[in-house]
Each structure stands twice: as structure tokens, then as C-alpha cells.
Structure 1
């Protein structure tokens, strides 16, 4: 498949690119700073673009079969709408170019998965450290759910840099109210790629944990 990936310079995005290439996909990675993505492969095209600047990303959607987003940001303490605004621009560009399949990472603990990251996140991390980040992710999910795309939202537990495990758990009710579950970025990327041509979680937000 021809895949367009956003957030490719992040740790999960790099896993998407690496595993996607290994599976034989043709990948276009849209990144703000191409120098940060030091992956050389004939099936990888790196395009400079910013999701907050629609004109810089629209042409990248031409001829693509699907788009995957691993967007994130590190300004957790600052009120921001980077994810929701950027996703709005991605959805608009997909509609203009007739690309329907969209898989996007958010997180457990959002919307109807509230409290599913365990007590530590529910009572401390989300309200005190990640409040604005999770608020933006919630708005991001809403934009996706209101779109006409063939979307799947992937809600991982706490992300780690562990090795790929294909025996992870996934489902609408995945998560825990007390314990903080974990999942490797490699496993999340694997799950996203595995669901590209599946309708099992079409128009659904699915949790994933070890």
C-alpha cells in the first residue's frame, strides 16, 4: 500500500515507518524537519510539511491509499490546540484528495475511556501534568469521529520503548481503573499497520495494552 505518515520523527512514528517498509509498503513521511529522519530506503519519500500549514501537506495525499498519524507535542503545560488543528487539516486534505482510510493514535484516558489509565494517571498525571495535552487529544478525537473518513482511533496505554510483542491485548474495553497498563511503541505501530485493511475497528476507538 501507499501510506502517508505524520509524526514520523517521533518514536512511534519511526516504528511505523520502519515496520511499514519491512512489510513492503511505499511510505511518504511528512515531517517539519527532514534532517531528523535518518532512514534511507528506496520505498521511503520524505516531504517537508507542517500540519498547521494546510498548503504544505495537501499535495502529499495524492495517490495515497491511507494516512496514519502519530502526531504528538511536548508542551504539556501550555494550552495548545496543535493536535486538533493539525488533524482538522489532515482530514480536509484527505477529503480533497479522496483518501478515506485514517488511523490515528490518541491515548487511553480520553472520552469514553476516561479513568482507564489507572489511578496514578487519573488522579495526578492527567489533571496536573497532561491536562491541556489530553484536552487537545479529546478535541482531536471529536474531529475524527465527526468526519466522513474510514477512521480508527488507537488508544494505547502508557507507552514504552520496549520490544515488539504481537501478543498484546486490544478492544473497546481494554484498560484498568486502578493499575497503569503499558504497551511498547513498536507494538502500537504493529497494531496500526495490521488494521489498515481490516474493518474490525472501523469507526471505533480501540484500546491497546500488554
Structure 2
């Protein structure tokens, strides 16, 4: 399949690109800094582009079979628009060029669910602190993005991971519609889940929640890393 990945130079995007090429897809990886992209392959084109620039988005989308978005930015107190404005341009380009399949990432935090097994600290302190304070503007924009996608005429799937962490390979993970019990998702598992959406339609026009069950990271280290790391794009 001939696919384009937006947010390809982020931590999940790089894994997704690597897995997609390994599975035989032809991939266009879109990044604002193509010179920093670490992967090279005969079936990989690294393209400079910005989701805020409709013309570059249209150039990337033209002729593709599917679009995958792993757009991501750090938490900020300032208003965030990259998710909603980015996906709006992506969908405009898809409609213009007749591309139907869209798989994009948001987060389980856009629709938090109480988990009695989460414990007092996580449910009463950690989760509210992230979703209502340091992550508020980010998750607000993810919700705007989800609304735009759900109201589109495209063949979409929204993938919601929980707290993201690193594993060297794909592990054992679960996927459920809407919500899943589980506070963590390996980035390699998230990338694999996204690619699986290209070959079946179980979650077509649905939200797919994904959680890793094989391993669990440190909550404190995860929060610090996600809150303060700078993501390439």
C-alpha cells in the first residue's frame, strides 16, 4: 500500500515509518525537518512539509492509498491548534485527491474513565493534574480534531493510546472500541495497531483504544518524560 505519514519524525512516527516499510508498504514520511530524519529505504520518501501549509499537505497526499497521522506536540499553557488545523488540512487534501482511508492518533485522556484499579493517587491527583492543568490545551485540541474527523465523510479510525512509553519490539497489547482498561501503551504497539487498521475494517468509523498488557513502565518517569520532552516533527 502507498501511504503517507504525518508527524513522521516524532517518536511514534519514526517507529510507524520503520514498521510500515518493513511490512512492504511504500511510505512518504512528512516532516518539517527532513534532514534530521534517521531512516532510509528504497520504498521510503522523506518529504519536507508542514501540516499548517495546505499546499505541502496536498503534495504529500496526492496519489496515496491511505493517510496516517501521529502529530504530536508537548504540553503547553498556550493554545494548541496543530491537531485540529493539521487534520483539517489533511482532510481537505484527502477530499481533493480522492484518498479515503485515514488513521490518526489522539489519547485516552480526551475522554477519561474512572478505573477503580488505578488507585487514589492516579485517579484523584495524577490524571486530573494532567487533563485539567498542564495538558488541558493539548487535549482540548485533540477533542476538536476528533470532532472534525468524526464529522467527515472519510473512512476514518481514531486510535487512542494511554500513557506512551518505549519498548524495543511489539509486545502483547489489546484493542477495544471506545475505551479500554489500561494506563499505558507502548509506542511500538501503537504503531503496529495503526498499521493493522489498513488491512481490516473492524474499527472503521470508530475509536480504537489500545493498551499494552505485557509490560508496565514507571508512572513518575513516564509523566516527566511526556510533560517536558521536545518532539521533532
- The alpha-carbon distance between structure 1 residues 192 and 174, as it changes in their structure 2 partners (threshold 3 A), is same
Gaps of 5+ in 1: none
Gaps of 5+ in 2: 213-233
Give CA-to-partner distance per residue, 1:118-174, whole Å, 9 cap, x none.
Answer: 514432111111000000000010010011110000000100012333420110254
Give CA-to-partner distance per residue, 1:33-68, whole Å, 9 cap, x none.
Answer: 101212111110011110001012212212100000
200-209 or 114-123, which moves further after superposition? Answer: 114-123
The answer for the alignment partner of 2:113 in structure 1 is 115
CA RMSD between the two structures: 1.6
The answer for the alignment partner of 2:82 in structure 1 is 82
Q: Report if the CA contact (8 A) 1:108-1:116 is conserved.
A: no
Cα distance in 2 between the residues matched to 1:205 and 1:68: 14
Q: Report if the CA contact (8 A) 1:107-1:156 is conserved.
A: yes
What is the SS of the residue equivalent to 1:80? coil
The answer for the alignment partner of 1:41 in structure 2 is 41
What is the SS of the residue equivalent to 2:180? coil
90-99 or 79-88, which moves further after superposition? Answer: 79-88
The answer for the alignment partner of 2:73 in structure 1 is 73
- TM-score of the aligned structures, taking structure 2 as reference length: 0.84
What is the SS of the residue equivalent to 1:140? helix
Cα distance in 2 between the residues matched to 1:35 and 1:75: 25
Structure 1 runs, 4 residues or longer, greater than 4 Å off: none
The answer for the alignment partner of 1:58 in structure 2 is 58
Q: Report if the CA contact (8 A) 2:159-2:208 is conserved.
A: yes
- The alpha-carbon distance between structure 1 residues 173 and 61, as it changes in their structure 2 partners (threshold 3 A), is closer
Cα distance in 2 between the residues matched to 1:162 and 1:91: 32
Give CA-to-partner distance per residue, 1:55-113, whole Å, 9 cap, x none.
Answer: 12212212100000000112522112111001000000000000000000000021xx3
The answer for the alignment partner of 1:197 in structure 2 is 199
Q: Number of aligned pairs?
A: 205
Cα distance in 1 between the residues matched to 2:69 and 2:7: 6
The answer for the alignment partner of 2:209 in structure 1 is 207
The answer for the alignment partner of 1:170 in structure 2 is 175
C-alpha deviation, 1:194, in angstroms: 1.1
